Amino acid sequence: MTSSRKKLVLVGNGMAGVRAIEHLLKLAPEAYEITIFGAEPHPNYNRIMLSSVLAGGTDLSEIVINDYEWYRSHNITLYTGHKIESIDTVNKKVRSDLGIETAYDELILATGSDPFMLPLPGADKEGVIAFRDIKDCQIMMETSKSYKKALVIGGGLLGLEAARGLLHLGMEVSVVHISDYIMERQLDRAAAAMLQKELEAQGMKFLLSKQSEAILGKKRVKSLLFADGSSADADLIVMAVGIRPNTALAKKSGIAVGRGIVVDDYMETNIPGIYAIGECAEHRGIAYGLVAPLYEQGAVLAKRLAGVQGQGYEGSVTSTKLKVSGVDVFSAGQYEEPAGSRALRYQDEIGGVYKKLVISEDKLIGAVLFGDTADGAQLFSLIKSGESVQGKERSLLLGLPDDAQKASPAARLEAMPDDEIICGCNGVSKGTIVEAITSGGCTSVGQIKACTKASASCGGCKPLVEGLLEIYAGDAAVKVKEGICGCTTLGRDEIVAEIKRMELKTVKEVMNVLEWSTEEGCSKCRPSLNYYLGMLWPEEYADEKESRITNERYHANIQKDGTFSVVPRIYGGVTSPGELKKIAEVAEKFDVPMVKFTGGQRLDLLGVKKEDLPKIWQELDMPSGHAYGKTLRTVKTCVGSTFCRFGTQDSIGMGIRLEKEFERLNTPAKVKLAVSGCPRNCAEATIKDFGVVAIDGGWELHVGGNGGVHVRATDLLCVVKTEDEVVEWASAFLQYYRENAAWNERTSNWVERVGLDSIKAALDNREDRLALQGRIRTALSVTTDPWKQIVKDKELRKNFEPISRVETV
């Protein structure tokens, strides 16, 4: 029996294409069998938030827009890591570079853009990259661990975001720009000068009016040579000089291409049934690179595919509202004065505020705001509407209320047109939010976020969303504390309390009983519920593998090229000739590309194929180092009194005891321990989650440290005399953390949130400490090394067979 549904194929798993699919599923959920091909090994994610990831404000997992469960729940066939290499426009088939061939009735090309790499001599050297995707982000973060000097070529928005992220990672950063002022496509000289001054105060350096000539170095970049004969040292060069529509596939397939893939007002190419949207598309001679126009295109195409009558796409007036390194900037329309226009300016050097309005024939045609962007939405609305601003110039420039505004923020929101973009990160308009409130029954910010994605990324639009909720929901508006995700309004403590009270024992049961708004949950709540249930019912709860992330499912760290990293446990960093020999033999047998010492005193086998993982672990016959999970990672030690003349205690023995005590322990976030043999602290115990420092006659116990992006020194918990006391206090602290911290909350954040005094009070009574120790030992008693199970279980080993289609997580 054949399906009556038409076959729709989307080439490109990015923001524009998947947004069109989201619209289509709402309009005609049963009309198509949908297949999506994505070249990257990731689900649909928010590329705009990469700069936030680089700057440490967001985790990679948090920028996923639609997780693998979303594709599964909508019966979408997804192939990640597949690049479509050919389109048979006659027989209507596409073929991927990995051999997957799929037929289509309708085809959407959303191939995006490629970063423009300057064709400089030496541009192919190691350490020269773009800033475009997760892979680039990961390279920059890895490079910052070993190198110090970075150059970013390009003083536009993307370049400044990359530079700020690298600065945050601890690198020395200079921005190279061919123009004599930064962000010349969005800002005028005055605003640019104010922005540069602010960035210089943060540590960024600028090399302006510099034309890059060549990249110097042998295998890896060493410096950048300029046309004027000067040069700048660099260990890393990031090119952020622009993007080009990715038209190669279309051109190869006989589809009309100009600057981009040429489309009509309904996003259709010159070949019927083939459409293009996003950065790869050219509409009326323009290829757009901002998210709002791309989402507008997606909405038009979805209606066309669903058979819904609608107005075609007529192009977009663009605006840019952004936060560059903590500074608010807004730009829209024509920011430089064309002939016959006039400009009004307001500048406050002390307050760091600059405003410029460009007016032609009594109409606002452009605006630049720096430092205070509150009026950006109103100004952009006036630019798009083309209405006269005569007599309003002063109030618009100074942000003063006039009669039309009625001095009321609510009235201004109400007057805002429905097509005004409220959430720039996710392209959500005012009309979409209002519809979610009035027709969709959303009565809280959390529900609006879950329904429309407004405020789901950077959160900058949340005040506007709250304002719309007050206006259009009225008395029905519910101000609630946001839950652990958009699927629930319940916070961590409420969920844990209800699980205890009602003795809920499965993820599905929790979601049903606690009235989750989405039946299957999401990538944020499922792992957290899986942890809370395992923490509360260690002897009864069966760990739900499908609620764990890829690394935890395969018990190895996935690398940027799709291979894995294997880290066997080496207790306290102490190994033996036999153990080293075994690791070397395995590395040789399986042709492991790299064996590296880690920061936690272990050996990392990098570049392992997925299908080799069970065999490697079987031959190693060593416990997993759990370098991939939210669990105990390492216990770092110095040689202590065993060899060091300064050592006062046996730090090696203490470290090994702690590691054997807590290996395989599941925790809310990763946990690292260290034991230093004297106050010289060579094991860096004072930046670990639990640190032990030997002193004469005893041990100092430190908690809440973090040596990562946000460095935090530990707080002194207490001083004890014996090794047994160290284990007792460590057990009590870790179990108290397990029972009270939120999922994904590091001890450093948790200690700051709850306060050291409250932790001391909870652990002060020895009877309470022993009870906590008993519970942690119960939890540990039901755990086993994952690889021992996988090696023995034939069914589990099937998960590691090589397949061409991506697994869902």
CATH number, residue 87:
3.50.50.60
Does 160 share its domain with 285?
no
Q: Does 1 have pLDDT greater than 80?
A: no
Give the pLDDT score at 364: 92
CB 788 within 8 A of CB 667: no
Q: Tell me what the pLDDT averaged over the chain comes to.
A: 87
> Domain check: are 82 and 221 in the same one?
no
Listed range (71-85, 490-504, 550-564, 625-639) with the worst mean pLDDT = 550-564
Query: Across residues 557-564, what is the average pLDDT?
Result: 72
Half-sphere exposure of 661 (CA within 13 A, CB side): 22
HEC profile for 388-419?
Answer: ECCCCHHHHHHCCCCCCCCCCHHHHHHHCCCC
Residue 636 shares a structural domain with residue 768: yes
- Cα 431 to Cα 426: distance, rounded to the nearest angstrom: 14
Residues in the chain: 809
Task: Provide CB contacts within 8 A for 217, sequence distance 6+.
Answer: 122, 125, 127, 223
Do 736 and 759 sit in the same domain of this protein? yes
Residue 242: pLDDT band with limits 50, 70, 90: confident
Pick 56 or 771 by higher pLDDT: 771
The residues pairing with 212 across neighbouring beta strands, listed in sequence order, are 226
Closest of 186, 185, 161 to residue 323, by C-alpha: 161
For residue 465, give both structure tokens: 């969303």
Q: Give a yes or no: residue 775 inside a domain.
A: yes
Q: Are residues 667 and 770 in the same domain?
A: yes
Domain membership flag for residue 797: no
Share of the chain above pLDDT 70, in %: 92
What is the mean predicted confidence (pLDDT) over 294-322?
Answer: 87
Residue 109 sits in the same domain as residue 55: yes
Tens of pLDDT, residue by residue over 122-153, are 999 999 999 988 889 989 989 998 999 999 99
Same domain, 104 and 235: no
Q: Among 594, 624, 654, which residue terminates a domain?
A: 624
pLDDT for residue 402: 54
- Residue 597 sits in a domain whose CATH number is 3.90.480.10
Mean pLDDT score, 788-802: 67
Q: How high is the pLDDT of residue 240?
A: 93
Alpha carbons 198 and 439: distance in angstroms, whole number:
45
Separation of alpha carbons 361 and 334, rounded Å: 14
Report which of residues 278 and 319 the model is more confident about.
278
Average pLDDT over residues 393-401: 79
**What CA–CA distances, in Å, run from 300 to 72, 295, 305, 313, 315?**
25, 9, 9, 6, 11
Do residues 144 and 171 make contact, with C-beta atoms less than 8 angstroms apart?
yes
Do 537 and 575 lie in one domain? The reply is no
DSSP code, position 315: -
Look at 30 and 405; give whichever has higher pLDDT.
30
Same domain, yes or no: 141 and 229: yes
The 10s digit of each residue's pLDDT in 402-445 is: 554 444 667 767 777 777 778 877 778 888 899 889 888 888 88
Per-residue pLDDT at 677: 93
**CA–CA distance, 465 with 427 (Å, rounded to integer):** 13
pLDDT at 807 over 50: no
Q: What is the pLDDT of residue 269?
A: 97
Per-residue pLDDT band for 182 (boundaries 50, 70, 90) equals: very high
Pairing of β 363-370 and β 421-423: unpaired
Residues 645 and 780 in one domain: yes
Supply the pLDDT for residue 322.
Answer: 62
Q: Is residue 389 part of a domain?
A: no
Q: Write the CA distances from 17 to 20, 131, 134, 301, 340, integer angstroms.
A: 5, 21, 18, 10, 40
**Strand 223-226's sheet: what is its strand order?**
212-216, 223-226, 231-233
Mean pLDDT of 452-470: 79
pLDDT the model gives residue 481 = 58
Q: What is the pLDDT of residue 533?
A: 93
3-state secondary structure (DSSP) of residue 250: helix
User: Mean per-residue pLDDT for 762-773?
Assistant: 95
- Asked if the model's pLDDT at residue 650 lies above 90, the reply is yes
pLDDT of residue 324: 59
Of 277, 306, 335, the one marking the end of a domain is 306
Taking a C-beta distance cutoff of 8 angstroms, is the pair 192, 180 a contact?
no
Give the integer Cα–Cα distance in Å for 377 and 805.
Answer: 43
Q: Is residue 318 part of a domain?
A: no
What is the tens place of the pLDDT at every residue in 680-689? Answer: 999 999 999 9
* Mean pLDDT in residue range 268-280: 97
Confidence grade of residue 326 (pLDDT, cut at 50, 70, 90): low
- Residue 695 forms part of a structural domain: yes
Instruction: Tell me the CATH number at 752.
Output: 3.30.413.10
> Taking the model in full, what pTM does it have?
0.60
Is 672 a domain residue? yes
CB atoms closer than 10 angstroms to residue 201: 9
User: Where is the domain boundary, 564, 593, 624?
Assistant: 624
CB-based burial, 691-705: b 16+ in 10 Å, e otherwise: bbbbeeebbbbbbbb
Q: Residues 718-765: pLDDT tens digits? A: 999 999 999 999 999 999 999 999 988 999 999 999 999 999 999 999
Q: Does some domain include residue 588?
A: yes
Res 404: pLDDT: 45
Task: Work out the average pLDDT over 337-365.
Answer: 88
- Stated as kind and residue range, the H or E segment containing 215 is strand 212-216
Please tell me the least confidently modeled range out of 268-282, 326-340, 566-580, 626-640. Answer: 326-340
Residues 496 and 598 in one domain: no
C-beta of residue 484 within 8 angstroms of C-beta of residue 490? yes
- Domain assignment present for residue 679? The answer is yes
Torsion of CA 546, 550, 553, 557, to 10 degrees: -170
Domain count of the fold of the chain:
5
Position 627 pLDDT exceeds 60 = yes
For residue 50, give the 3-state DSSP assignment.
helix
- Above 70 in pLDDT, residue 566? yes
Q: Over 90: is that where the pLDDT of 784 sits?
A: no
Range of the domain at 599: 548-624
Distances (CA, A) of 385 to 357, 416, 417, 551, 762: 16, 11, 9, 50, 61
Report how far residue 520's alpha carbon sits from residue 487's, in angstroms, rounded to the nearest whole number. 9
Assign 370 to helix, strand or coil.
Answer: strand
Report strand pairing: 32-38 vs 6-11: parallel
Could you give the CA distance from residue 376 to residue 317 in angstroms, rounded to a whole number? Answer: 14
Task: Kindly state the average pLDDT of the residues 241-255.
Answer: 95
Residues 21 and 170 in one domain: no
